[in-house]
């Protein structure tokens, strides 16, 4: 009878196929990892860019609104031509105009909030006392 002894060539050939298969799997895994990493980076970048844009837009519009409010209080707009009034009177009239127009409100807090509310009501400015610990 014959001896079935496998030679070194057969073993190396069998191992070689497995190693090539493993190398192919490893290469595919690395490529998939890099593709996933790049995709994740791009998606994260886009999301960050969009949220950054939204945040910048919100902050910019708030800043513009606040600057417009301060300019209105200073009287830099249409009322700036009337120089016969003192700045305090201009601010008082502008605040009154903003409050009656529904564009601003005055909320008072602190120990002297009730006194300030009384003084503002004398000046025909609507104010509300807010208790923080409700």
Distances (CA, A) of 56 to 37, 41, 51, 119: 28, 22, 8, 39
Question: Same domain for 17 and 55?
Answer: yes
Phi, psi torsion values for 31, nearest 5 degrees: -65, -40
Virtual torsion, Cα 32, 34, 38, 41, nearest 10 deg: 110
Domain containing 94: what range? 82-134
pLDDT for 96 beyond 70? yes
Average pLDDT (44-65) is 74
Same domain as 54, residue 91: no
All residues at 6 or more sequence positions from 71 whose CB lies less than 8 Å from its CB, including other chains: 77
- How confident is residue 75, by pLDDT bands cut at 50, 70 and 90? low
Q: What is the pLDDT of residue 6?
A: 53
CB 90 within 8 A of CB 75: yes
From residue 72, alpha-carbon distances to 41, 50, 59, 65 in Å are 45, 32, 20, 10
Do 93 and 70 lie in one domain? The reply is no
- State the Cα torsion 118-97-74-120 to the nearest 10°: 0
pLDDT at position 41:
79
Say if CB 125 and CB 95 are below 8 A apart.
Answer: yes
Can you give the pTM of this predicted structure? 0.36
Q: Is the pLDDT of residue 128 over 80?
A: yes
Q: With the CA atoms of 73, 75, 78 and 80 taken in that order, what torsion angle do they form, in degrees rounded to the nearest 10?
A: 170
Is the pLDDT score of 78 beyond 70?
no
| Alpha-carbon gap, residue 55 to 58, rounded angstroms | 5
Which one of 28, 56, 74 terminates a domain?
74
Work out how many domains the chain is built from and give that number. 2
């Amino acid at each position: 009878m014959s001896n079935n002894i496998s030679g070194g060539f057969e073993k190396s050939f069998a191992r070689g196929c497995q190693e090539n298969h493993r190398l192919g799997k490893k290469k595919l895994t690395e490529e998939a990892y890099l593709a996933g990493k790049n995709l994740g980076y791009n998606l994260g970048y886009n999301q960050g860019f969009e949220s950054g844009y939204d945040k910048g837009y919100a902050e910019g519009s708030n800043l513009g609104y606040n600057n417009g409010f301060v300019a209105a209080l200073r009287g830099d707009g249409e009322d700036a031509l009337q120089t016969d009034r003192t700045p305090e009177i201009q601010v008082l009239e502008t605040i009154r105009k903003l409050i009656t127009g529904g564009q601003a409100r005055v909320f008072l807090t602190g120990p002297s909030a009730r006194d300030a509310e009384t003084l503002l009501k004398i000046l025909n400015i609507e104010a509300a006392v807010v208790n923080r610990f409700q």
